[in-house]
Structure 1
Amino acid sequence: MQTLVICIDRDNDLGEKAKLETPIVGREANVQAAVALGIADPEDSDTNTIFGGIKILDELRAKGTDAEIVSFAGDKNVGVISDQKIAEQLETFLNVNDVQRAIFVSDGAEDETLVPIVQSRMRIDSVKRIVIMQSQNLESTYYILKHVFSDPKISQTFFVPLGLAFLIYAIFLLADYPDGAVVGILAAVGFYMLYRGFGLDDLVALEKEKLWDAFLEQRMVFISYTAALLTTLVATAYGATEVWKLYSADGVWYQGILTLVSVFINASVWWYAGAILLANFGKIFDLRMENKPIYKNVAISLFVIATGLLFWGASTYILATASLSKGATNDATLALQYFVYSVAVAILIALAGIKYSVSNQISENEEKGRGRRKKKLA
């Protein structure tokens, strides 16, 4: 095959609306897909993208070029997940088809972010953007706003913070504490903005999909991740309870922010460490069942324990200096010794994890080298 016409549907309208699976290969199959998508949603621009690709295909074939058309679709969670799905489909297609060059067809800048992914695997001769000509009525402000807010990606970004603010305000009004509504709204909206700003929504969606696959495949990692999530909730609730006890007993931030943070860390650090170890245990178990190396995960577990020791030792010493520790650790001198010992033990545990990981990495590389040499001799 000399030239491949690639049509991209990054948000998987073909799957969500027309109930079609991709890749869709061939002129007739793409005509049927475009018609099905056009019937399901006449206003979807991906329909025109496919028809635009078909037109380019016909023009190439009229010139005697050996060409074919294929449509790839990603996922409604646009981002890492959708791009990975398109990349996997492209890899599978190229493994069974010899393609020399490609023409990339899209309906806008969002789909064109896939150009580097395609370009890393083959030569792209042209990028064609299909622009729909609209009538004057369709360009009215009402129509534009209506369709912008019907887009799930935009509506979630705009309506979720507003919905959170209204909901929190209503809850505080019912609790007869309107002054706390401002704090609650700012905290919730700020958390949501950080969540979206750092791109955690893509990460959460990806992990959720992996977790669902683990459930369907009956892997231990599903149980361990669920247990880790519940343990994290318990850790947060327990730490917050301890902070509230100190806050309510001594007044508004009487002890200082550092002390309150230390109380939270000291109360919950081992719960959080246990949650991470639980999640890692599931990975180790599944890797063992698949006869895959586990040294990286074992090293991670050791690093988690070492980090927990450091945070516990530091928070214990801070609380001891504020005379807030209980039992033997209430003595500042003894708490300082605990801190020094925790640092030393944490370093030893971390070094053990590094040594274990490096030695197993070397062994794995040697086995791969022997395997390559055997293949060459064969």
Structure 2
Amino acid sequence: MTTLVVCLDRTDDVGRKTGLRSPVVGWEAVRALVTDVGLADPEDSGVNTLLESLRVAQNLRDENEEVVVAVVSGDHESMVSADRAVAEQLDDLIADYEPDSAIVVTDSAEDERLIPIVESRVRVDSVDRVVVRQARDIESTYYLLKQFLADEELRQTVLVPIGLTLLVFPVLATTVGPAMGAAAITTVIGLFLLYKGFNVDEFLTRFAHQTRESLYSGQVSVVTYVVAAGLTFVGLFVGALAVSNLGDTPGFVIPATRFAFDSVPWLAMAALTASAGRLLDEAIGDDPIRTSFLNLPFIVVAVGLVVRGFAAYFLEQQDVIDSFVVPAYELGILSNEQFVMGAGERLALFVVTAIVVSLVGARIASSVSGSNDAAERSDGGSDTTLANGGTATASGGREPDPSADAGANSEGDPVPDVTDPERTDGGADANANPDSDGDRDR
């Protein structure tokens, strides 16, 4: 069993400091290389890496294993050329010595990037990373910072806010004072953290993508969404105007109730318009209409009626609005005098109407969904042609061919009745042997 102990040097530090070309193979050659590299740069950690390679090879020899120790270097011009140079040298080593496994010795995270190249050519049993004891924490911190700075998303998320803070705080401190400047900066940082924490950026990206797809596909919901937005603004304006007409009303409950009472009809119309547009898109499409889209308009109307009814009840109790008056009418034999409806009666009327609307919506949605399921089942069946010209449906039924003769087959022979009790009992055994009388055993 031959083991290859290979020391990796991706940036060709050994070649640049000693002038030697890699690969350097053999115990004596690597031992001499340690002296050359140490004399050229005593502070280089590559000296420790070479010594570690010799130590690992010596331990394996003490265990009576055949060992080949080698130093493989890349190219300092570019990372691609360095990796290709290492791959070529490994191919030559494997072709010359035919190792069964390899032990990789490195001194940095940069050299460890070559491990997949080694693994693609020979089995790697161990990876030995050499870190100088005095510089272990410093080197680990260095590579962590280097990896952090190489990530573009982390740089934009962390370094950009810190840089903007360091630039803006002196300006705010000289204009509005240190306290106001610190408060403004912490507010902005808090909003930014919430923005990233709730994935608002992904939501906005997804919303923009869906909006663009809707515009390009010509969906009706695009227009209805714009109309719904306009109705929403109208409802908010009407509610705010109603609150402003209350004057100096103490407390918060009555203004909020008044706002809901006046804005709910417009907000309900906005939601109804948006849901109607989405329902039209579903109806135009090829897929069946989903139950949720059918039931949504009725739910919107029902919720609007309930909110309007409760808001009217509280406002009437506080004498903010007048009672509901049913005017007198006379239609033939039907006539009614003027009727004043109380707050409780008005609330009951709105709640009952909302329940009726929701039940009607659920009924319509279930009926449409049932018809769609029945249509899919009827379309999904397949007919199978029988021997007598009839067809068998997917449910197992049998339909006779009306054009075929019910009493004869294609050769003119009579066809037995399918209701024959012997046939329904299982029929005759087609493989029964004839007896001495010429009859068949059943």
- TM-score w.r.t. the length of structure 2 is 0.42
Larger RCO: Structure 1 or Structure 2 (Cα < 8 Å, ≥ 6 residues apart)? 1
Structure whose CA Rg is larger? 2
Counting helix residues as a fraction of each chain, which structure ranks higher? 1
- TM-score w.r.t. the length of structure 1 is 0.48
